[in-house]
Amino acid sequence: MRKQTALIFAAMTILVSAVHAETCPEPIAEAPRFVLVTTPSMDTQLATMQLFTRRSSNKPWKRISAAEPAVVGKAGLGWGYSFLDLKEREEPEKVEGDKRTPAGFFRVFAVRAAELAEARPELAAAVEPLLKAREAIERQIADLDRKVMPLARNDAQVRRFMTAPGVGPITP
């Protein structure tokens, strides 16, 4: 039976864990909250969503909402290249234009920063240009990622390196 797929977004950073930061993956060790979206398979658009929070990184996660219905991509989910080490053989990879939502862990900092700045006009003048610059950089990174991935897939040595956990076509 295929494993249940978890698509995780976070309202500051991400992932589901009922334990403390020392056992959380690095990207979410300090996260104060996250949104968990799950689907029964990679090929369905129907999902459920739950919100979790914690007071600090050394406290356990607490669910703050009941499971709510949600919708992902029209064609379901596809693993983003950064998460291919989580992919099982038959599961799809995210490809631009495939009508799939990327599966993985994602930060949603910009949304929260914009909300906070909106409530304080004196901050908006400083925050808005920074968020626009951040968005432009993220677009450039995504564009370069799209160009690098086909090159990585066509290079046997790079493909071997990418079999190591945490190693992708671009590894810092």
The domains of the chain are located at 5-107, 120-172
94, 79 Cβ separation under 8 angstroms: yes
pTM of structure: 0.53
Closest CA to 85 of 105, 108, 71: 105
List, run by run, the mean pLDDT of 10-residue segments along the chain (172 residues): 36 35 62 85 93 84 89 91 81 89 79 78 86 86 81 84 72 56
What b-and-e string marks burial along 56-80, b requiring 16 or more CB atoms within 10 Å of the CB? eeeeebeeeeeeeebebbeebbbbb
Query: What pLDDT score was predicted for residue 27?
Result: 61
Q: Are strands 33-39 and 68-71 parallel, antiparallel or unpaired?
A: unpaired
Q: Rounded to an integer, what distance in angstroms lies between the CA atom of residue 6 and that of residue 170?
A: 24
